[in-house]
Structures are given as structure tokens and as C-alpha cells.
Amino acid sequence: MKINASTHRKLSLQNTIFYILLIAVTTLFAQLSLNTNISSDWTANNRYSLSETTLTLLGQLDQTITIEAFVSPDNSQYYQALDSLLERYQRNSDKLKINIINPDFEPEKTRQLNIQQQGEMVVTLGDKQQHVFDLSEQSLTNALITVSRQHEPWLIFIEGHGERTPLNHANFNLSVWGENLKQKGFKLLGLNLVENSQIPSNTAAIVIASPEQAWLEGEIALIRDYITNGGSVIWLAEPNNNAQLDAIAEQLGLEFINGTVIDPNAEMLGITNPEFTLIIDYANHPVGLATKGVTLFPHATAIDVVNDDLSSWQYTPLLMTQDNAWSEAVATQDNNLLSLDEGLDTAGPLTLGYLITPKIDNAITSAKQQRIAVIGDGDFLSNTYIGNGSNLELGIALVNWVVGDDSLVEIPVKTTIDNTLDLSPTQSLIIGLGFLIALPLLLATIGFGLWWIRRKR
């Protein structure tokens, strides 16, 4: 092609226009990137995104909450993790005021807030304050829930009859569950009905946790009146130990099936005691949806509804055993002798827990809907067993539902997906030979082919 003066001018003009357009497009994209914040999480379990529960909470915030994070910039591991976590929160709410503080430069404030470790956060709203010690969505969102609660829910644990209590650290008791509830903003109080004949008016719910001794008639009357007036209850029952509270069970339209639930499926977890019941399916209900894994119930009793059609209550069977479980009426020390005896034992599937609300026509008019949870076991929340499976998840979800915090029932734990690749000897051999022989041969063949084609030209 012959280039003359005219062609040269056209090429120069074309190049000039190209560079002007290139600069204009680059400037537009730069401006767009500054004004647009779009991110996408492609990880298998969305571990770099906030859960729907957290996003709902952030959308409901109507007051500015301050988050002060204490970390040294030279501590890159904590600094990067902290910055990544807080950025996700700030991106989804303009009600969060976030300050990252170098404790070396502000030692007085660090001492004032009693900061104990790198990466510690202090969440503040008014005079409410919560410390967060680990860099997780669960802990930070729980702190936001605690300080943003419009009221402090009081859980009243009935005492005086050998009940489990969150105020004692014995294995039989509920201190681990209690500490988790405190972290979520609940206030816990033990109440002896003989010493205090009134249930406080600011009670969010009462907890009857596995009483071992008989109640006085006046105590039972207090609980019945509390329920009649719309009070919410969590009742943790035990096998063959509920006759003393028959009047309350009758008021709720329930009866406890005689005996202890036997579950042959416990062997799947290596449990040799068949009195441990596994629950793997839950009701399509906020509490059930919040419980992500298997829950384990040692020494549980089954529950049944009496005259459901005539009852003034609405029942949701939350915990159902598998079909091959049964309720063993007569206890035996030899597990090998356990079997379903027709006419004596009760065949499964059995219900271990009910969630109860008043039917609409009978509901008491109040700001808070009455909610009652009756679970046929208290051991699953004891300090001994609460760490098994999803027992703690279920325990927290039950309380949140009973007190009416449906949207805060649970924040899922996000863990890294197991990326381990297990190969058989044959598969390992094939991959090894592929890299050692097949791949070099393929590359050599491609190279030879390219050489041959060029040689022909």
C-alpha cells in the first residue's frame, strides 16, 4: 500500500480519534468505579457475605451504633481480617459508625475500655456496650442485637424443686446455655414461687427446667394463672417425672407418654446407649429452620396432644423421631434386651417437642403473642450435652422464638468447605502417569505439529 500525504493525514486523524475515545472511555470507567460499589461472593458457602439474618438486622437499625475496633496496623493478620469483616457491615448500613483504633497511640482509651487483645471490638449504643472478642459474623451480630434491643427480655427460671439452673456450673445445670443467652441481651433470674408469690410483670418467659420434687398446689395455680393471662413458657420435661405437673399439661392439652424413648439410630454416631435420641428433621418453622444439624436428646420422653380438634391451642410438632424409635415403658439394664413390646411400649415416630400458640379465636389481646415450647428432655441443654450437634442452636432458637424475636432466631455459622481430595491407588496412578508421560507427549506432539506446518510454508 502506497502512503501519500492524504493517507497519512487520515491515519493521523484516525489515531487521534482513537486515543481521545480511549481516554474518554477510561475516564468514564474510572468515574463509574468510584461511584459504584458492586461485589460478588463466589465461594461455595458464601463465607465472605453476610447472612440474611444479619442483613435484616442492619436494615432494621434506626439508631447509629458505634463500633470501635482495637488493632495495631503492623499486625497484618488481625488487621486485614477485621477490615474485611467491618467493610461487609458498613457496606450494608449507614447506621454504623466504625473506628479502627491503634491501641499504641491511644493507651488511655484502651485502658478505659479494658481492651484485652488485638482485634477486640466494642459495640456501643447509648449506655449499652458489648465487647466482641472473635472476628466472626455471629459474635458481632449478636453484639449488635444486644445493644439494639428496645427492651431487656427477662427469663425467669423457676426454682425450689431441684430444677436445672443457668446460675450453677454443675454438669446437670444450664450455665453454658445461660451465658450464651446473656451474650444475646437476655437477663436471667431464678424465682422461688414459695418465697415470691408473684411472677414479675416484665417477664418475657418463664422456664420450667426438669423439676425433681413435688410442687405445692399454690405454685401450680400461679403458673396456670400466668398461662391463662397470656404468659410464655419453656418447659423442659423428663421421662416418668411429670405427674406432679399434670394440671399444667392438662391446661396445655398435652400428655407425656410413659417411658423413655429408645432410638436404634444412635449407633450411627457411635453411641452405644439407645436411650440417646437423634433428631434430624424439624418442622417448617423458624425454630426448625434455625437448627441446621443433628440434635441429640439423652433420656427423652415423648409427648402427645389430647383432643387436638377441641383444644384452644395451635400445635406445631417441632421434634419428630424416626419411624423405628419407640417409647420403652419398662426400663432394663441390658440394652441387648430392648425391643418394641406390642401393647406395652409405644411405637414411633414420636414427638419430643411441641411449639404451642393460642388459636386466633382464643388468643389474648396483647402486644406480644403468647408462645409456649414443651420439650421432652432437659439434658440436651445441660452443660454435659449442649455441645453435641446443634443442641445449642436449638436452645437459642427456642428462646428467641418464645420471646418473639423471630427475625433473630439464628445466624448461621460459615465454615470453610472441606477441599480434601481422596484418591484411590488406581486414580493416583492414572494422574501420575498422565503428568509424567501423557502430558509431555501431548506437548511434544503439538510442538512437532507446529514445526511441521511452518516447515511446509
Q: What's the CATH number for 52-146?
A: 3.40.30.10
Q: Say which amino acid occupies 130.
A: Q
Tell me the domain boundaries of the chain: 52-146, 152-406
Per-residue pLDDT of the chain in tens (457 residues, 90 and over written 9): 566 777 778 888 888 898 899 999 998 888 887 776 666 655 555 566 787 778 888 888 888 999 999 998 888 888 888 888 888 898 888 899 999 999 889 989 989 988 888 889 999 998 888 888 888 887 888 788 878 876 778 999 999 999 999 988 999 999 999 998 887 778 899 999 999 888 988 899 999 999 999 999 999 999 999 999 999 999 999 998 888 899 999 999 999 999 999 998 888 777 888 889 999 889 988 888 888 889 999 999 999 999 777 778 999 999 999 999 999 887 665 555 577 777 788 888 999 999 999 987 555 545 568 999 999 999 999 999 999 988 998 999 999 899 987 655 555 444 444 455 667 788 888 888 888 888 888 888 998 888 888 887 6
Cβ neighbours for 321, distance < 8 A, ≥ 6 positions apart: 261, 263, 277, 279, 302, 348, 349, 350, 351, 352
Distance of alpha carbon 431 from alpha carbon 416, whole angstroms: 26
- In the block, cell 454416631 appears at 269
Neighbours of 233 (CB within 10 A): 22
What residues pair up with 261 in beta bridges, in sequence order? 327
Pairing verdict, β 154-159 and 187-192 = parallel
Distance of alpha carbon 292 from alpha carbon 281, whole angstroms: 10
Instruction: Please give the model's pTM, rounded to 2 decimal places.
Output: 0.68
DSSP helix/strand/coil, 71? coil
Distance of alpha carbon 400 from alpha carbon 171, whole angstroms: 24
CATH topology identical between 52-146 and 152-406: no
Under a CB-based contact definition with an 8 Å cutoff, are residues 100 and 78 in contact? no
Distance of alpha carbon 134 from alpha carbon 300, whole angstroms: 35
Which CATH class, in words, describes the domain spanning 152-406?
alpha beta
CA distances from 391 to 146, 170, 239, 268, 295 (A): 22, 18, 19, 17, 5
User: What is the 8-class DSSP label of residue 216?
Assistant: P
Neighbours of 67 (CB within 10 A): 20
